[in-house]
Amino acid sequence: MCLGIPGQITAITDADRLTGMADVSGVRREVSLAPVADGPLDDLIGQWALIHVGFAMAIIDEKEAARTLDALRDLGEAQEALDAMAEGQKALEGSQ
């Protein structure tokens, strides 16, 4: 099953590589913005996107993001994905 979790794009990290930082329920993660980059990258800052395996797959509005996060929390699936992302972040921080 594929799971896209809403995250808010907070910064552009490498314009040449089309990457940015996304905040997914408090977990910050670098993601590829290539699938949603159809204009100036700075226009994406503050936007909500569905994040799947490190890619911003689609831009969504804030209300849809909130509804989706609520539904995922209710199902319990988001917590598993967020735990895995947090573990990945810890591993990255430990390797630096």
pLDDT at 54: 93
Question: In the prediction, which pLDDT does 11 show?
Answer: 98
pLDDT in the model for residue 66: 93
Per-block mean pLDDT, blocks of 10 residues, the chain (96 long): 85 98 93 96 97 94 92 75 80 72
Domain regions of the chain by residue span: 5-90
**Rounded CA gap, 59 and 9, in Å?**
10
pLDDT score of 84: 82
What local confidence, expressed as pLDDT, does residue 2 receive? 65
Q: What is the CATH number of domain 5-90?
A: 2.30.30.140
Residue 93: the pLDDT is 78
Q: What is the pLDDT of residue 60?
A: 96
Three-class SS state of 62: helix
Taken as a whole, the chain contains a residue count of: 96
Strand partners, 56: 51
Residues near 94 by beta carbon (within 8 Å), at least 6 away in sequence? none
> Computed from CA positions of residues 84, 86, 28, 68, in that sequence, does the dihedral angle turn out positive or negative?
positive
